[in-house]
Chain A
Amino acid sequence: MSTEGITKGIEGARERWVRTGGVELCVAELGDPTQPTVLLVHGYPDSKEVWSQVAERLADRFHVVLYDVRGHGRSTAPQPLRGGFTLEKLTDDFVAVADAVSPDKPVHLVGHDWGSVQAWEFVTVKRTEGRIASFTSMSGPSLDHFGHWIKKRMTRPTPRKVGQLLGQGAKSWYVYMLHTPVLPELAWRGPLGKQWPKILQRMEKVPAGDYPTSSLPSDAAHGAWLYRDNVRARMRRPRTDAYAHAPVQLITPSGDIFLSERLYDELELWAPELVRRSIPAKHWVPRTRPDQLAAWITDFVTSNEDGVPTNDSVATGKHADRFGGQLVLITGAGSGIGRATAFAFAEAGARVVAVDRDAESAARTAEMSRLVGAPEAWGETVDVSDEQAMEKLAEKVAREYGIVDVLVNNAGIGLSGSFLDTTSEDWKKVLDVNLWGVIHGCRLFGKQMAERGQGGHIVNTASAAAYQPSKALPAYSTSKAAVLMLSECLRAELAGQGIGVSAICPGLVNTNITATSHFAGVDAEEEKRRQKKASRLYGLRNYPPEKVADAILRAVVKNQAVVPVTPEARGAHLMSRFTPKALRAIARLEPPL
């Protein structure tokens, strides 16, 4: 048990003690008490400080309340410990805190890990009905739902269900460990407690700071009773009436090593008003992704305060759970693949910055993005090859819209013609846009992403020409090959910071790049004729840019490295690996222009 002075507490928080059921709970409050109350419940082996960064971000909009669960942080522990941590008693604690901080209005609950496990109990028992306005759950299922989940898979074991059971069973190793007497306490008070911060930093990339607090060994030792008092009982006899009486937002970190995403299959049956979110991160999201959590909590709380049904305010497009509310910047968004990508992200509920050197078409993309689901969208006019302009853009975006979560470096120009016909001017132009544009984008926005330290993703539009030599496109192919290599190097560099990098290699796609391509070594009239012919060829192929946009979103969700899109791009990619000689022979053919 910690005493005052050992933990630093949360900056600017007003603290008070709430007495209930023989324990004293340490309650911290931030923000304006007249605003809606958001109550954050921490998990195991944490104390309320795990929330400090999220709380800070929520405090200017809401009345934020945190408390140390009994036996954790600065709250006192029950005597005796056995039987003192049942979900019933934890519910008593919650009601006492809620009554103290928001006596006449329901509170918005947010729980992480065991905080979420408890909160599921709060939100599904009768006596708290009307006290909870909404519940955001992360990394902590209801024990009752979990019990039913296991039962369902045990009674009708198909190979898949057995696989799911074994998978989750393996992830839950620590639950069995915590059921052994005394040993866990000894470990936590001894070496494990000492090593824990380092383990967190290494495994979870949790940045150093005010967490974990020095009360960790005793928190962890006491908290073992959370498992011992509840898990076996609920697994054996899960409640059958565990239906949520408030809207639920479920946030699932895809890299959680303790919980599989499968656990939440069919959760709609228990929580009718369910909004799903997924985030590419590990277990300790309150520490590693505070911006994203604060944004989603704010959205969810606000929409439930306004009385707007949440399902309407959530975009319905593909991957909406992943991109809802995120900030996506796309260059070359005035037409073709860039524009289609902007629309696809907009349908997924992302906020879109559409960048193009043509102001009118950038504005048009932004306007249409808003119509298909983007909560906000802006058009920006920049030539990506202009370093200073890009710097200004990066500053402006960071200042006015925020740090970009997904960057799509898509702007590019076409150039065709033999090497000997290609002038150094031509070379300069195509490299300036196709390669330097990507370099500027990655450098400026990638740096912002890395500095924020909360992950992100960069997509670079390369081309099938990046690995398919051709005597018709020496300069273009060279620029795109460079983009491909740049992406792969950057991917290696940024992997450690949770930032993914993907290179997209579309192939022949029906966009206006053919109509604006420069053909070196021919006069204007011949150039026009070739542009027309190329456009017609691409039109006949008629591969829609929308499909490339889908591939881009999928690449971000799955964090794919290199994505050839059209069948011919995939074929060429295979050939470049297994039969490069054949590809070189094809390169010698005269293209039909």
Chain B
Amino acid sequence: MNEILEPQTFRVTRADLVRYAGASGDFNPIHWSDRIATGVGLPGVIAHGMFTMALVGRAVTGWAGAADAVKEFSVRFARPVPVPDTDEGTEVVVTATVKEVTEDGDTRLALTATCNGDKVLSLAQALVRKR
């Protein structure tokens, strides 16, 4: 049986996107302008894919026990994470299942991230050094 790790929930507000834009240098206006986001067919301002991946990364390092325990980390951005201009913003829920323990003793985690019940990532996984 594959072990299921404790789900992690992260709240995402517009203020988080502003902070992430500044820290990462990704100032694409779809992450801060409803006018531009809707103009290119998005439902509104969406989170940076890399911000979502960073939240998943927090969950992974939390489960793994250390930042340097992560050997590989990959995701596919399947759906956008719309972030409404409210105090509550939205929530991203990250779950993980232990898929295998490799011959080297590393652990492969299958990861999911959902927002409003939609899977926002697919083919997401991490290889972590077993502690």
Do the two chains bind? no
A residues sitting closer than 8 Å to B (CB atoms) are none
